[in-house]
């Protein structure tokens, strides 16, 4: 949810076997499990997110927004203060992709 609040971001598939394991079901929880991995290292929460971004928004700014949102949400919901968010951009969605989808 924290990631989806950022404009121009779509969840993507993390690499490896796990996305294939969770491929059944198009519900939002399944999509999140295929795109986001979180683990605890001591008191530090480490979040890895695989995302597609829309062309146009500077990616560094977008990555910062994702990090801030994830940190804020985790602090509110789980009172986790020490959060490291690693962002992996798997693809950039171009305006021409939208036209191609519309044509199809």
Partner 1 sequence: VTLDTFNRVFVLTIALLVAVTALALLLVTAGLVSPGAFAGGWIGEQLRQLDSLHGSSEILALALVAILAAASTTLAALELIAPGREVTTVDADGLRFAISREGISRVVQYVCEDVTGVDDVQPTVRSSGRGLEIDCVTTLQPRFNPIEVSQRLKARIESSVEAAIGVPVRQVTVHARPAPAPRSTLP
**Binding-site ranges for partner 1 (CB under 8 A):** 14-18, 55-56, 58-60, 63, 67, 84-92, 94, 96
Min CB(33)–partner 1 separation in Å:
14
Measured CA distances, 89 to 20, 40, 54 (Å): 19, 22, 11
| CA neighbours closer than 13 Å in the CB half-sphere of residue 52 | 12
Closer residue to partner 1 (CB): 81 or 84: 84
Min CB(72)–partner 1 separation in Å:
16
Min CB(103)–partner 1 separation in Å:
17
Closer residue to partner 1 (CB): 15 or 25: 15
Closest CA to 10 of 92, 97, 95: 92
Instruction: Give the angle 79-81-85 at the CA atoms, nearest 5°.
Output: 115
Min CB(30)–partner 1 separation in Å:
18
For the chain, how many helices (H) and strands (E)? Answer: 4, 4
Closer residue to partner 1 (CB): 40 or 92: 92
């Amino acid at each position: 949810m924290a990631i989806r609040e950022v404009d121009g971001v779509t969840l993507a598939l993390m690499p490896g076997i796990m996305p294939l394991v969770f491929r059944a079901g198009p519900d939002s929880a399944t999509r999140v499990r295929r795109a986001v991995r979180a683990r605890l290292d001591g008191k530090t929460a480490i979040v890895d997110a695989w995302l597609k971004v829309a062309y146009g928004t500077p990616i560094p700014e977008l990555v910062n927004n994702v990090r801030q949102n994830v940190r804020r949400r985790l602090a509110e919901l789980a009172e986790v203060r020490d959060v490291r968010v690693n962002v992996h951009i798997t693809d950039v969605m171009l305006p021409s992709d939208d036209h191609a989808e519309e044509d199809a």
